[in-house]
Amino acid sequence: MQDLVVCVGETCHQSGAEHVLKCFMDLIARNKLETEICLKGSFCLGGGCEQDEVSVRLGDRRFQVTPEQAALVFAREVYPASNPVLED
């Protein structure tokens, strides 16, 4: 199981962390990934938050995400990481 951590500190909260969390929660449920991804909130991930961006960590990788980009980041980064390629 991988941890998907969304910063909910003051700057990220003001930048839309609640929307990013809800989007990720919905996509995890829709794709039935509850046993693959553990969604968490955390105060300050230490990534140097920018205004209008939310810090997100997946394993040891960090992303700066706007609320509008949340679904795209999930599709490009989170979903592929949750589904290991099966060997023949």
pLDDT at 68: 93
- Alpha helices in the chain, H assignment, sequence order: 10-14, 17-30, 70-73, 79-82
Specify the number of domains making up the chain. 1
> Is the residue at 87 inside a domain?
no
- Give every CB contact of residue 22 below 8 A, 6+ residues apart in sequence: none
> Is the residue at 45 inside a domain?
yes
> Is the residue at 23 inside a domain?
yes
Domain of residue 48, CATH code: 3.40.30.10
- Give every CB contact of residue 75 below 8 A, 6+ residues apart in sequence: none
Cβ proximity of 58 and 20 under 8 Å: no
Give the residue carrying structure tokens 């060997």: 87
Amino acid at 15: S
> Is the residue at 58 inside a domain?
yes
Please give the residue range of the domain that contains residue 64: 2-82
> Is the residue at 26 inside a domain?
yes
Q: 76 versus 12: which is more confidently predicted?
A: 76
> Is the residue at 54 inside a domain?
yes
Average pLDDT over residues 60-73: 91
Cβ proximity of 74 and 33 under 8 Å: no
- List, for residues 7-54, the tens digit of each pLDDT value: 988 888 888 899 999 999 999 999 999 999 999 988 876 666 667 889
Give the residue carrying structure tokens 């991804």: 37
On whether the pTM is more than 0.75, the answer is yes
